[in-house]
Amino acid sequence: MSLLGLLDAGSTHGFALKRRYDGLLGHGRELRFGQVYATLARLERDGLAGGVGLEPGEGADRKVYAITPDGVAELDRWLSTPNLPSGRPSELFTRVVLALASGRPVNQILDSQREVYLSRMRELTGSRHAGDVVDRITSDFEMAHLQADLRWIELAGARLSDLEAGVTTVMAKGD
């Protein structure tokens, strides 16, 4: 979904797409070129993206890819589906960055994720005293991660304009 989301921000070739990904989402987990082109082939096969032309490159021409209407619908579905609590905000972070990169409203994503986390916290609080010590410590672990994720959601919301400016800068460098 990450490459599809980056394509939604604008048509480009695989090399620039890799630079966008590495600059926005890589953070020590940069993509290999083989991953980029294998993913683009799958997106094209599945009708979510397609080639829209060639761009001169250093050596061979570079195929330019664009998201299709089916790809936009799939990306919208993915972006609007809240994560189940996992203790890791990485997918949520990715959704926020891709929404910013493609001009979608981010507050809606943060609000819906916040509600899912608060709902899970209410469940955990209600069942906390019913289990044994392992159940309780497991619930405490999950609760701590949910609280941290909620703090991150609040920080992200408070810093949205700064994050948007950073995303815009990286996107401009990827072209």
* Tens digits of residue pLDDT in 29-51: 788 989 999 999 999 999 999 98
> What is the average pLDDT score of the chain?
87
Which two tokens mark 121?
């916290």
Q: Over 90: is that where the pLDDT of 87 sits?
A: no
What is the reported pLDDT for 28?
A: 63
Q: What is the pLDDT of residues 98-121, one digit of tens each?
A: 999 998 999 999 999 999 999 999
What is the reported pLDDT for 39?
A: 94
Map out the domains of the chain as residue ranges.
Answer: 1-81, 82-167
What is the reported pLDDT for 88?
A: 55
Contact yes or no for 7/65 (Cβ under 8 A): yes
Top CATH class, 1-81: mainly alpha
